[in-house]
Amino acid sequence: MDPKNIERHLISEKDWSLKGEIRASGRPVNSLLKADVDFETRLINIPITKDENSLIFKYITQRYREKTFDNYEFKELKPKIEEEAYDLELIETNKEIFELYEKIETSIKKMYCGS
């Protein structure tokens, strides 16, 4: 290869995966799904030791023998009625806040506009 071809190759537009940090707009749609991405995480997976594993197994077998499964009883969700959905106290405080805001706004207008 001659130097001009090498230079042309080095200056040419690179594939998005060779550009370093790139935004989603700088790469084709779903192209990241096909790429083998290497990244660092701060999460450290601590392996379970044989002792811990045997302890868990003993606990499970003991619970099975005793027939104590600690089944959680799911509560049925009741749909809210519109009247129950609004808290009247909250509505009253919102009115008070709105009235206070209007008073402040009118006093500021009087100070700066003189009307």
**Segments forming the whole domain that contains residue 94:** 85-113
What is the average pLDDT across 25-52? 84
In a domain, 98, yes or no: yes
Q: Is the full-model pTM beyond 0.75?
A: no
Separation of alpha carbons 54 and 36, rounded Å: 37
In a domain, 25, yes or no: yes
Dihedral sign computed on CA atoms, order 46, 52, 56, 59: negative
pLDDT greater at residue 85 or residue 51: 51
In a domain, 17, yes or no: yes
In a domain, 42, yes or no: no
At a CB cut-off of 8 Å and minimum separation 6, what does 56 contact?
Answer: 48
Give the confidence band of 92 by pLDDT, cuts at 50, 70, 90. low
Domains contained in the chain, number: 2
In a domain, 74, yes or no: no
